[in-house]
């Protein structure tokens, strides 16, 4: 059940939210202009001054910030305060090997704990809960964000940390954990491991879960709900903003409320960089409104979503809602001229009850033609006959969604090996050919 952690702020009239946003945007603009040489240079190049920001729409006059800007200024070049004023550091490894590093002042940690407490309460966490946190504690933001937020709510945190799935299940049994967090695909994997060791996840005390950190399709959510018989919520966030805690869906499950008193969201067309209207899909661009350590203006997340046109939600919250993240613009695959998002494939797979928790798509080239192979693990070992039938069914179902016939490889359970914290769904071998 959905609880409101900070009623005054979460249900603030929209006009008031916008006034607060403008006040905080102006402050952030001065802060970076005066303290971050990169932004001062960009303002000069674009011929703008902080005092040019008079309305919220004026945000469009400001420069974008990209992942390349972060890498070029790594690790501390975009800091708006001295390292002496910071008390914690987190980083995401990225693909190029240069980690995106973020340092937090005490107030940044306080704000992060607050937004996480809001997200967790919205997913049903109360001080009575025993909160199991099966995310690696390290430079990845996930575990600490959940940890701070759950403690702020007053729940008891079990910092169960990285992997060791059997141990996670045993801790759940032993301590009677009632709420769990995690990386989306791991929640399903954990359910499968429970079944493998003879534990019915439905019979554990877990009744709520808050998951995110990667593509989280409706199909995957449904599978987690069915496996665990728990209420599932979706949490979005990224290292560059704070980590998890930017937005979460309430009990209506029709969009994620984004904490507009701390983040300003725009949706842009990634090609023209022009703003896109409500209810239309585009790239999420975020500006921090209260960050002290590393404030960012118009950060291009590469995540694809749309904003909903709704004044007040049934839950009483007034903060804007965005759709689930459809994918990352850099995850979109173009194969024989067709644009494919991994989420489209996952939605088909998760509807099929013979399909297990792990899958991936492999792109290769055969005689100069692109080939897409979808590798799928089954839940249980299947006979040759059933394996062939499943492959045919999945081929037809996927074809009807992506208008393209993939090859399907049906594999026994536990044959696709996890490559890291987040599931790696796309293996593109085309470049090597």
Restricting to residues 65-94, name those near ligand DLL by CB under 6 A: 92
Which of 63, 99 has the CB closer to ligand DLL?
99
Q: Minimum CB separation from ligand DLL for residue 65, in Å?
A: 14
| Residue with the shortest CB distance to ligand DLL | 212
Contact 311, 295 (CB under 8 A): no
Contact between 213 and ligand DLL (CB under 6 A)? yes
DSSP sequence for 301-356:
EEEEE-B---SS-TTS--S-EEPPP-EEGGG-EEETTEEE-HHHHHHHHHH-TTEE
Contact between 149 and ligand DLL (CB under 6 A)? no
Q: Return the closest-CA partner of residue 60 out of 298, 309, 284, 299.
A: 298
Of positions 191, 243, 282, 342, contacts ligand DLL by CB under 6 A: 243
**Dist. CA 234–CA 154, nearest whole Å:** 21
Q: How many CB atoms sit inside 10 A of residue 190's CB? A: 25
Contact between 242 and ligand DLL (CB under 6 A)? no
Q: How many CB atoms sit inside 10 A of residue 181's CB? A: 32
**Dist. CA 65–CA 45, nearest whole Å:** 14
Contact between 303 and ligand DLL (CB under 6 A)? yes
Contact between 216 and ligand DLL (CB under 6 A)? yes
Which of 43, 146 has the CB closer to ligand DLL?
146
Choose the binding region for ligand DLL from 59-67, 236-244, 264-272, 387-395 (rule: CB under 6 A): 236-244
Contact between 142 and ligand DLL (CB under 6 A)? yes
Which of 76, 404 has the CB closer to ligand DLL?
76
Which of 204, 285 has the CB closer to ligand DLL?
285
Q: How crowded is the C-beta side of 121, counted as CA atoms within 13 Å?
A: 21
Contact between 235 and ligand DLL (CB under 6 A)? yes
Give exposure, 14-50, as e/b (b: 16+ Cβ within 10 Å). Answer: eeebeebbbebbbebbebbbeebebbeebbeeeebeb
Which of 119, 390 has the CB closer to ligand DLL?
119
Choose the binding region for ligand DLL from 49-57, 126-134, 213-221, 381-389 (rule: CB under 6 A): 213-221
Contact between 248 and ligand DLL (CB under 6 A)? no
Strands 299-305 and 327-328: antiparallel
Which of 194, 210 has the CB closer to ligand DLL?
210
Of positions 301, 347, 357, 387, contacts ligand DLL by CB under 6 A: 301
CA end-to-end distance (rounded Å), the chain: 52
Contact 159, 184 (CB under 8 A): no
Which of 326, 410 has the CB closer to ligand DLL?
326
Of positions 214, 260, 283, 292, contacts ligand DLL by CB under 6 A: 214
Which of 26, 328 has the CB closer to ligand DLL?
328
Which of 212, 406 has the CB closer to ligand DLL?
212
Contact 421, 136 (CB under 8 A): yes
Q: Return the closest-CA partner of residue 258 out of 282, 234, 274.
A: 234
Looking at residue 11, what DSSP letter applies?
A: T
Can you tell me which residue has the tokens 């850099």?
330
Q: Minimum CB separation from ligand DLL for residue 172, in Å?
A: 19
Size of the site for ligand DLL (CB under 6 A): 20
**Dist. CA 227–CA 230, nearest whole Å:** 8
Contact 416, 377 (CB under 8 A): yes
Q: Minimum CB separation from ligand DLL for residue 103, in Å?
A: 15
Q: Minimum CB separation from ligand DLL for residue 216, in Å?
A: 4
**Dist. CA 43–CA 52, nearest whole Å:** 11
The 99-138 site mask, x for binding ligand DLL (CB under 6 A), equals: ----------------------------------------
Restricting to residues 319-358, name those near ligand DLL by CB under 6 A: 325, 328
* Contact set with ligand DLL (CB under 6 A): 92, 141-142, 212-216, 234-239, 243-244, 301, 303, 325, 328
């Amino acid at each position: 059940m959905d609880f409101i952690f900070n009623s005054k702020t979460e249900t603030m009239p929209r006009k008031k939210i916008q006034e607060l946003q403008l006040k905080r945007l102006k402050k952030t603009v001065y802060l970076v202009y005066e303290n971050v040489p990169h932004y001062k240079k960009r303002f000069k190049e674009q011929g703008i001054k902080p005092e040019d920001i008079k309305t919220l729409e004026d945000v469009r006059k400001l420069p974008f910030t990209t992942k390349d800007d972060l890498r070029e200024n790594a690790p501390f070049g975009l800091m708006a305060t001295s390292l002496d004023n910071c008390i914690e550091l987190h980083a995401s490894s990225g693909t190029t090997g240069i980690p995106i590093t973020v340092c937090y002042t005490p107030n940044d940690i306080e704000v992060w704990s607050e937004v996480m407490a809001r997200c967790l309460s919205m997913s049903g966490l109360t001080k009575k809960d025993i909160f199991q946190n099966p995310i690696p504690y390290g430079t990845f933001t996930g575990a600490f964000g959940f940890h701070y937020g759950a403690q702020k709510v007053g729940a008891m945190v079990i910092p169960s940390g990285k992997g060791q799935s059997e141990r996670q299940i045993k801790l759940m049994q032993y301590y009677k954990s009632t709420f769990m967090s995690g990386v989306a695909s791991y929640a399903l994997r954990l359910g499968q491991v429970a079944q493998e060791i003879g534990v019915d996840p439905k019979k554990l005390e877990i009744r709520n879960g808050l998951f995110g950190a990667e593509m989280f399709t409706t199909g995957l959510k449904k599978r987690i709900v069915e496996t665990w018989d728990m209420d599932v919520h979706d949490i979005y966030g990224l290292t560059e903003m704070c980590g998890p805690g930017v937005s979460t869906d309430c009990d209506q499950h029709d969009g994620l409320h984004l904490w507009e008193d701390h983040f300003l969201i725009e949706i842009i067309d990634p090609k023209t960089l022009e703003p896109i209207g409500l209810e239309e899909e585009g790239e999420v661009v975020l500006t921090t409104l209260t960050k002290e350590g590393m404030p960012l203006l118009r950060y291009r997340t590469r995540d694809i979503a749309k904003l909903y046109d709704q004044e007040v939600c049934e839950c009483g919250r007034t903060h804007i809602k965005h759709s689930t993240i459809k994918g990352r613009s850099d995850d979109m695959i173009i194969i024989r001229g067709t644009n494919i998002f991994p989420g489209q494939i996952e939605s088909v797979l998760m509807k099929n009850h013979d399909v297990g928790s792990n899958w991936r798509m492999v792109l290769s080239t055969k005689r100069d033609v692109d080939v897409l192979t979808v590798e799928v693990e089954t839940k249980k070992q299947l006979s040759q006959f059933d394996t062939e039938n499943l492959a045919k069914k999945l081929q037809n179902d996927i074809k009807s969604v992506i208008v393209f016939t993939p090859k399907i490889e049906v594999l026994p359970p536990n044959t696709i090996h996890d490559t890291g914290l987040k599931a790696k769904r796309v293996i593109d071998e085309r470049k090597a050919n």
